[in-house]
């Protein structure tokens, strides 16, 4: 399933908060705010990956993806390279259905606050993403802002705008798009590494 969020983000950047719970139909999705009280804590099996809030747990096997340009993250084993129509330069991987997608990108000359605010303002008027909310997010120790919403078909998106510690005028972008049965993919956000940190851990 082709999503429009990365395309819209590129358009906004070229021209260029508090947590909560969103409910739509039968869907409920807690938004991370770095507060341990957000969402219901899940039991964490040994060896599992958990997000910062402790709400989402991923127990499957993973593979490392990413580039020195876009940063690095672990995604489920078996995900394959993917590219949204009309978008180049992003690192994207999806499952066999094309519905569950990870996107990495990097923006020079755009702070994480500016990138998140520009996108939030644009999407609030565009209605491509519904129920849009934002929050601060402690992402694996990085300073970040998070946007969350859902498409009209019920699919979710969680996007992170992450300050580059090496150059605070630039930011990394991580988006996870998923259906209602794959909310546990959010747990993998905690495996994100900037390029500098990835190479420190993998010399």
pLDDT digits (tens, 9 = 90+) for 119-143: 888 777 767 788 888 888 879 899 9
Least confident among 14-23, 67-76, 156-165, 177-186: 14-23
Mean pLDDT for the stretch of residues 53-68: 91
- What is the rounded distance in angstroms from the CA atom of residue 173 to the CA atom of residue 146? 10
Domain boundaries, the chain: 5-201
Architecture of domain 5-201: 3-Layer(aba) Sandwich (3.40)
Q: How confident is the model at residue 39 (pLDDT cuts 50, 70, 90)?
A: very low
Q: Quick check: 193 pLDDT over 80?
A: yes
- What is the rounded distance in angstroms from the CA atom of residue 63 to the CA atom of residue 13? 30
Per-residue pLDDT of 61-113, as tens digits, reads 999 999 999 999 999 999 999 887 777 789 999 999 999 999 999 999 999 99
Q: Quick check: 155 pLDDT over 80?
A: yes
- What is the rounded distance in angstroms from the CA atom of residue 86 to the CA atom of residue 77? 26
Q: Average pLDDT of the chain?
A: 80
Quote the crossing angle between the two packed helices 112-126 and 5-15, to the nearest 10°.
120
Mean pLDDT for the stretch of residues 154-164: 93
Among 35, 159, 177, 181, smallest CA distance to 107 is for 159
Which residue matches tokens 């300073």? 143
Q: Quick check: 14 pLDDT over 60?
A: no
- What is the rounded distance in angstroms from the CA atom of residue 87 to the CA atom of residue 110? 19
Mean pLDDT for the stretch of residues 176-203: 95
pLDDT value of residue 40: 52
Q: Quick check: 170 pLDDT over 50?
A: yes
Q: Quick check: 9 pLDDT over 90?
A: no
Tokens for 131, please give them.
Answer: 């129920």
């Amino acid at each position: 399933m082709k999503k429009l969020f990365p395309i819209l983000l590129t358009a906004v950047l070229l021209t260029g908060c508090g947590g909560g719970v969103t409910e739509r139909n039968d869907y409920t999705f807690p938004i991370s705010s770095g507060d341990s009280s957000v969402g219901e804590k899940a039991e964490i099996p040994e060896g599992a990956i958990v997000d910062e809030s402790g709400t989402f747990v991923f127990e499957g096997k993973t593979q490392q993806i990413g580039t020195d340009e876009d940063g690095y993250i672990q995604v489920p084993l078996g995900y394959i390279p993917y590219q949204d129509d009309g978008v180049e330069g992003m690192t994207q991987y999806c499952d066999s259905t094309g519905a569950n997608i990870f996107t990495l990108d990097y923006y020079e000359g755009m702070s994480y606050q500016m990138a998140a605010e520009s996108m939030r303002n644009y999407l609030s008027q565009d209605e491509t993403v519904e129920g849009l909310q934002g929050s601060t997010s402690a992402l694996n120790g990085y300073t970040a802002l998070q946007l969350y919403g859902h498409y009209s078909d019920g699919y979710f998106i969680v996007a992170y705008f992450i300050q580059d510690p090496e150059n605070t005028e630039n930011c990394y972008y991580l988006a996870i798009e998923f259906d209602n049965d794959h909310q546990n993919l959010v747990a993998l956000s905690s495996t994100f590494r900037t390029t500098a940190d990835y190479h420190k851990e993998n010399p």
